[in-house]
């Protein structure tokens, strides 16, 4: 879809998402910025904590129930706190994707919201740098006027996908099926997508979670008191 269409459009040309949308991704690059124009379909993100469960040779995000009997917490599975989720329409594909961001970027989006409704104007998302140095920026596309996407159009775009359902914690049985790798493996691909889309699995893990992760995975990593959290993340990355 050409971007001039995108900015002036009536949205009639936009596609309908599949039952399970892709995650929004911007490739990182050391020397240049990459950017993409999106339309937000949700003003306020759904925010959850996500356990990162090692299973099936990958790390699978699973929403923390936030309750005392959360199986992820009980099993000391590392948790990535404060993950925010939005449905966005990607201007490149014209389909709905899931945008997942951590605390820092959620703050930036909140700032942007103080300038106008996210859902009323195209937003350009820009990424600079790679891995730990990645920085995201969110800006309204200049010169565009606020314009609501109709509820009908939104429903059509989103199709059968319900973000709230996607982020529903697993039942205890499902959770243990997952960590014991006895569950349906169908979830695997989906979760790998999520992992990739959010760049670094350790960015939002706090010190304790990082230490638990090292122990659980028997990594050859020593943590010193003088290490910053980022030092620890770097060590884990090098050890894996």
The binding site for Zn ion (CB under 5 A) comprises 64, 70, 72-73
How far is the C-alpha of 28 from the C-alpha of 97, rounded, in Å?
18
Closer CB to Zn ion, 52 or 99, in the complex:
52
CB of 70 to Zn ion, least distance (A): 3
Map 60-118 to HEC letters.
EEEECCCCCCCHHHHCCCCEEEEEEEEEEEECCCCCEEEEEECHHHHHHHHHHHCCCCH
The conformation of residue 58, written as its DSSP 8-state character, comes to E
In the complex, least distance from residue 209 CB atom to Zn ion, rounded to whole angstroms: 11
Least Å distance between CB 167 and Zn ion? 13
CB nearer to Zn ion: give 62 or 109. 62
CB nearer to Zn ion: pick between 103 and 110: 103
CB of residue 64 vs Zn ion: minimum separation in angstroms? 3
Q: How many CB atoms lie within 10 A of CB 178?
A: 25
Please report the DSSP string for 141-188 in residue order.
PTTPPP-PPPHHHHHHHHTT--HHHHTPPPPHHHHHHHHTT-S-TTHH
Smallest distance from Zn ion to CB 74, Å: 8
Of 41 and 70, the one with the shorter C-beta distance to Zn ion is 70
**Which CB sits closer to Zn ion, 3 or 76?**
76
């Amino acid at each position: 879809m050409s971007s001039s269409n995108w900015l002036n459009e009536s949205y009639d040309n936009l596609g309908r998402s599949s039952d399970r949308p892709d995650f929004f991704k911007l490739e990182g690059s050391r020397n240049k910025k990459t950017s993409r124009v999106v339309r937000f379909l949700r003003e306020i993100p759904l925010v959850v904590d996500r356990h990162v469960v090692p299973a099936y040779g990958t790390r699978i995000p699973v929403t923390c129930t936030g309750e005392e009997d959360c199986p992820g917490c009980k099993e000391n599975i590392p948790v990535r706190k404060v993950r925010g989720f939005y449905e966005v329409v990607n201007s490149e594909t014209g389909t709905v994707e899931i945008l997942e961001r951590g605390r820092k970027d959620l703050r930036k989006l909140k700032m942007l919201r103080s300038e106008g409704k996210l859902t009323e104007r195209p937003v350009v998302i820009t990424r600079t740098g790679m891995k730990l140095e990645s920085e995201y920026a969110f800006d309204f596309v200049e010169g565009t006027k606020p314009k609501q996407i109709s509820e009908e159009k939104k429903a059509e775009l989103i199709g059968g996908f319900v973000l709230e359902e996607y982020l529903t914690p697993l039942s205890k049985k499902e959770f243990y099926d997952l960590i014991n790798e006895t569950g349906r493996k169908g979830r695997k691909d989906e979760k790998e997508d999520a992992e990739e889309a959010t760049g670094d699995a350790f960015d939002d893990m706090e010190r304790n979670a990082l230490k638990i992760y090292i122990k659980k995975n028997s990594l050859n990593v020593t943590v010193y008191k003088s290490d910053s959290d980022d030092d620890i993340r770097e060590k884990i990355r090098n050890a894996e």
